[in-house]
Structure formats: structure tokens, C-alpha cells
Amino acid sequence: MSPVSSSRAERKGARQRGISDATVARLPAYHRALTGFLDRGVTTVSSEELATAAGVNSAKLRKDLSQLGSYGTRGVGYDVDYLIYQIARELGLTQDWPVVIVGIGNLGHALANYGGFASRGFRIAALVDANPGLAGETVNGLEVQPIGALERIVADDGVCIGVVATPAAAAQGVCDRLVAAGVTSVLNFAPVPLQVPPGVDVRKVDLASELQILAFHEQRKQTATPQPKGLAG
């Protein structure tokens, strides 16, 4: 799939231990499902159980996991602890990833307060906003910093992942500054395609697009189902 990656460091065929993009995109779901089993005290799962919990086909799950290595036991299944560790290692969750969020509007606030990041190795290093009126405000224990501090923050904390939650008009400029400062991965919530140099990854999350895609299917359902009553011609 890779619906958003606009630029990649490695060429397709030259990936060191080829894990396909589609598989990588599903690993977080497997990891999350596995932690669910762990919390319930389950020590072993079959591909069928794990696939159901993750919402995928069991054959696809096995093929995905086989790309990481042969971590299962035939006739038994997968050891929950061990598989969690392997996926976490593959995803880099065993490292500490400092993240800077730029644009502390409604969405930036929500992201700053979102607990799902911290629990997976992502540490919010700083919040940055261009509006000087926001500078000094504290969100989730972090003080909002002026945009001028961006370069210093990235350098001092070794930030390599940036989150762009600015209005569309400001997104490309912020992205350029992030990249210039040394960020090599960008998560973009602004509804514009960001231009980045080779070697920098961009993933895009577009809330309005998601609703529009749902609306498309919804419309199809409505026009395709005029059967509730008469008027059948």
C-alpha cells in the first residue's frame, strides 16, 4: 500500500532484509493485539487467534511474521512474550524516540495529551508554535516554545521525528525547517502534500479525506439500495 510515503531512503530492491511496506504497516496492530493477550495472562497464541484479534486474515498474519523470522512453533503457535519483543525490536520500539510537535492548535493539543505515544517509546521532546501568544502556555507538563527555538530543540535532543499539525499554509515552511534542522521523518496532519528531499520519510494523516472516502461508499449504498418500498422501476 504505502499510501503516504513520498520519499524513501532505500531503493525498493535494496532493502537489507526486505520487509514489505504492507507488512510494516500491520506490525503495530499485531504488537498491540499481543500486548492485549499478555495483559490477560495468555502465554501462547495461534495465528488464527492473533489474526482475529488484529483484524486480519490468518494467512496474511503468518506471511507477515515469517518475514521477521521463524518465531512460531508448529503445532503450538507463537510465544506471546517472545513475539512482542521481536516485533518491538523490529519496529524500533525498544529505542527512545524524541518527537517534536509543531502547531499547538486543537489537534496539537490532542496529540500532546495523547497517552498512546509515551507508552510506545515515543517521548514528546517539545511543543512548538508560531503564535507568540501561545509561548509559555503549558500543555501536558510541557511549555510551548516559540518557532525560533526549533533548530536548537532538534539539535539538542537529537529529534529525528517531527509532527506537523499546523494550518495548511504553514506546513511546507515548517517541514523545510524541520528537515534543515535534521529531522528525517515527518508525520503530516496538514492537508497538503509535503515536498521533502530524498532520505526523508513522510506519512500523511488526513482526517477530512477519511470522512470523504466514507461518504463515497455511503452514497453508493444509498443509490444502490432503493428497495425499502415500491417504485421498483
Footprint on this chain of DNA (rule: CB under 7 A):
1-2, 12-13, 20-23, 45-48, 56-60, 62-63, 65-66, 70-78
35 or 58: CB nearest DNA: 58
Q: How far apart are CA 54 and CA 77, in angstroms?
A: 16
Q: Can you tell me which of 142, 149, 153, 160 binds a second copy, judged by CB under 8 A? A: 160
Contact 173, 199 (CB under 8 A): no
* Minimum distance of a second copy from residue 194's CB (angstroms): 8
* Straight-line distance from the first to the last Cα atom of the chain, in angstroms, rounded to the nearest whole number: 41
170 or 205: CB nearest DNA: 205
**126-155 binders of a second copy (CB under 8 A):** none
Q: How far apart are CA 143 and CA 125, in angstroms?
A: 10
Helices (H) and strands (E) in the chain, counts: 9, 10
**Grid cell of 85 as nine digits:** 519483543
Q: Can you tell me which of 59, 76, 155, 214 binds a second copy, judged by CB under 8 A? A: 214
77 or 121: CB nearest a second copy: 121
184: DSSP letter: -
Strands 77-79 and 97-102: unpaired
Could you tell me which residues are beta bridge partners of residue 139?
142
Binding mask 165-204 for a second copy (x = CB under 8 A): -------------------xxxx---xxx-----x-x-x-
Residue 111 within binding range of a second copy, rule CB under 8 A: yes
- Other beta carbons less than 10 A from residue 94's beta carbon: 10
Contact 43, 33 (CB under 8 A): no
Give which of DNA, a second copy, none residue 164 binds (C-beta under 5 to 8 Å, depending on kind). none
Residue 59 within binding range of a second copy, rule CB under 8 A: no
* Minimum distance of DNA from residue 21's CB (angstroms): 4
**72-91 binders of a second copy (CB under 8 A):** 90-91
Residue 226 within binding range of a second copy, rule CB under 8 A: no
